[in-house]
Amino acid sequence: MKRRADDFSGLTVAMITPFKDGKIDFARLEEQVERLISSGARVLSPAGTTGEAPTLTHNEQRELIASVVKFARGRVKVLAGTGSNNTVEALELTRFAETAGADGALLISPYYNKPTQEGIYQHFGKIARSVGIPICLYNVPGRTARGIEPETVFRLAEFDNITMVKEASGLMDSASRILAGTDLTVLSGDDSLTLPFMSLGASGVVSVVGNFATSEISALCDAMNEGRLEDARRIHFKMLPLCREALSLATNPIPVKKAMQLLGRDTGEMRLPMTELEPELTERLRRSLITAGVLAE
């Protein structure tokens, strides 16, 4: 079945934000953009959860989005994180992303406020009516305390520029219902569930592990989209322990930042309240990277 945003299929990398001495390291950011593109990423997604957006000022978030668009130079799509629990702020950031040249906007459902489903509908509807850029709904109730119910997604699908859902609830039933009831493009929001979600008809993943295992996750998505199930299974089973470790040892992006540091691709610096991964957990992560073939012994 043709989906609304087939051009966002495959691997979207939920990019980390590199910091050095407390500031965004734009030189390292450009290096990461180049490496991700050359390793098979189809879409880059800055300023999301993995990018520590809650600790960025709005000016930093705008500068980050504009820089990734500039560095990508149209070679891949940019899905900018522009969500907020404040509808006015989310709208302003989404308008900025559109003006800056981003190809789409990833909007988390309002967090902390705990709105009703009607409030969630009105939030996204107001933004969709005010911009032309494609919108990806981001459902992650573990972060927001309120999920976007499938019935609300069905209503939101009436907006032409709401074209995607990043489904990070971990619920196969929710993904199934959205895929069966709409023509929206569904992207897995959990690395360990990429293959199961794609077997239902999802088109790819917004991946954390893709920051450092880019070619492997890209190959998994390509294999599923091309119907090469055995190839996809092989990659899935090889990468599964690493995917679980990278997202379970501590709150994202603590483990992924440490993985990037172990690979020499980032300082590992984070902003409070995120803190360093403990030494014993770092060793577990290092062993997982070696076992997956991402890090040399």
Q: List the catalytic residues.
A: 138, 166
- Spatial neighbors of 253 by CB under 8 A, at least 6 apart, are 16, 49, 50, 51, 52, 208, 270, 274
> By CB neighbour count within 10 A (0-12 exposed, 13-18 middle, 19+ buried), where does 100 fall?
middle
> Distance between CA atoms of 216 and 176, rounded to whole angstroms?
25
- For β-strands 162-167 and 135-139, DSSP reports them as parallel
Nearest to 202 by CA among 188, 219, 214, 192: 188
Q: C-alpha distances in angstroms, 239 versus 83, 205, 217, 246? A: 30, 14, 8, 11
The one-letter amino acid code at 198 reads: M
